[in-house]
Amino acid sequence: MKRPELKGRSLLNLKNWTPEEIRFLLQLAAKEKQAAHSGEVRQRFAGKTLALIFEKRSTRTRCAFETAFGEEGGHPVFLSTDDIQLGGKESLEDTARVLGRMFSAIGFRGFRQQTVEVLSGKSGIPVYNALTDAYHPTQALADILTVQEEFGRAEGKTLCFLGDGRNNVVHSLLIICAKLGVHCTVIAPESLRPHPDFLAETAVWAQQSGAKITITGDPAAVRHADAIYTDVWASMGEEAQKAERVRLLSPYQVNDSLLARTENSACIFLHCLPAVKNEEVTESVFEGPSSRVWEQAENRKHTIKAILLATLLDLDVYC
Ligand code: CP
Ligand code: NVA
């Protein structure tokens, strides 16, 4: 395994992570998954602390951080916005500087990408984006690990996302695919597509990796897909737009006939979860033989463990 030095790094949106660094995290996650399945117990985070500041709800991400860190002797501290000053009575910058003096790292889930950037800039410790309105980088790592496990490699495979094509999950998926040479097709109505400036950024990485990035409104573009991916039609914080989204996105539902249009019986179904069944995906696809959603959810923990190991410890402790 090529071993880049990642100690002290933050993971805010994957944009400043090189393909080699991302591949290293994925390899490390696969290795940690194996070790976890073999029952290996270690205490590599003993004496370390992790602040988890969550403005939005979470099952997988919170539990992945808490179990990956806590099982190895680390002490995670969960802080909701009811528990902590976050730009209210105390400025965000001041909170960041206090946390930087007490914790080894910070995980943040919330609304504004700027919040996680400020936490990183001012705390002086590694900060992880556990989802913002703009990005969900830890999810993207688990998504690619799941594709890799299924097909032996992700590079050269084609992943099609259908639904809200400008949400956090799609942004991170496009970044990781563009960097790693995974072809990514986003199938969405015109008003819900990635911003052209963002696409111009991904195009540079795609050119280097050979990834083909396609944005279209036509569900027929799923032909020959290796993986079909969807997410909720209205993300956290967008509940007021739900009715409009149902109207716009119903033609993009992932159902059995959509899956058949891939003309690929080996095609898998992915969803970051939580899912609203019979909206973005039918029960039959979700529970069907193509679904890999539970593997994908489990992989959140192994990929997050890899991020924590790589950014908090010296290379010789975990490699
Ligand atoms: N996929 C994901 O981030 O799930 P949670 O919202 O439950 O953390
Ligand atoms: N796009 C979804 C992802 C949830 C994991 C949201 O932000 O609600």
* pLDDT tens sequence across 5-64: 999 999 999 999 999 999 999 999 999 999 999 999 999 999 999 999 999 999 999 999
> What confidence score (pLDDT) does residue 3 get?
86
Residue 175 has φ and ψ, to the nearest 5°, of -65, -50
Contact 250, 189 (CB under 8 A): no
Q: Which residues pair with 51 in a beta bridge?
A: 77, 106
> What confidence score (pLDDT) does residue 1 get?
63
The residue whose two tokens read 């737009």 is 241
> What confidence score (pLDDT) does residue 58 get?
98
CA of 167 to the centre of ligand 2 (A): 8
pLDDT digits (tens, 9 = 90+) for 222-240: 999 999 999 999 999 999 9
pLDDT digits (tens, 9 = 90+) for 266-315: 999 999 999 999 999 999 999 999 999 999 999 999 999 999 999 999 99
Which ligand places an atom closest to the C-alpha of 61? 1
Picking from 17, 80, 1, 92, the residue whose alpha carbon sits closest to that of residue 311 is 17
Annotated ligand binding at 255? The verdict is: no
Q: 168 CB less than 6 Å from ligand 2? A: yes
Between 87 and 296, the more confident residue is: 296
Picking from 201, 178, 193, 229, the residue whose alpha carbon sits closest to that of residue 22 is 178
pLDDT digits (tens, 9 = 90+) for 183-225: 999 999 999 999 999 999 999 999 999 999 999 999 999 999 9
Active site residues per annotation: 109, 136, 139, 231, 272, 300
CA gap 277, 283 in Å, rounded: 6
> What confidence score (pLDDT) does residue 84 get?
86
Residue 77 has φ and ψ, to the nearest 5°, of -120, 115
Which atom of ligand 2 lies at the shortest distance from residue 60's CA? 5
> What confidence score (pLDDT) does residue 82 get?
87
Contact 216, 256 (CB under 8 A): no
Average per-residue pLDDT for the chain: 97
Alpha helix positions (H), 210-278 = 242-249, 256-260
Q: 169 CB less than 6 Å from ligand 2? A: yes
Query: Ligand 1, atom 3: nearest CA belongs to which residue?
Result: 61
CA gap 185, 21 in Å, rounded: 24
CA gap 5, 277 in Å, rounded: 42
Which residues form ligand 1's pocket by a CB distance below 6 Å? 58-61, 131, 139, 272-274
Annotated ligand binding at 292? The verdict is: no
CA of 214 to the centre of ligand 1 (A): 26
CA of 136 to the centre of ligand 1 (A): 9
Contact 229, 161 (CB under 8 A): yes
Q: 170 CB less than 6 Å from ligand 2? A: no
Contact 84, 98 (CB under 8 A): no
> What confidence score (pLDDT) does residue 65 get?
98
Q: What is the pTM of this model?
A: 0.98
Picking from 144, 153, 158, 279, the residue whose alpha carbon sits closest to that of residue 223 is 158
Annotated ligand binding at 136? The verdict is: yes
CA of 42 to the centre of ligand 2 (A): 32
Report the length, in residues, of the chain.
319
CA gap 255, 294 in Å, rounded: 18
Which atom of ligand 2 lies at the shortest distance from residue 238's CA? 8
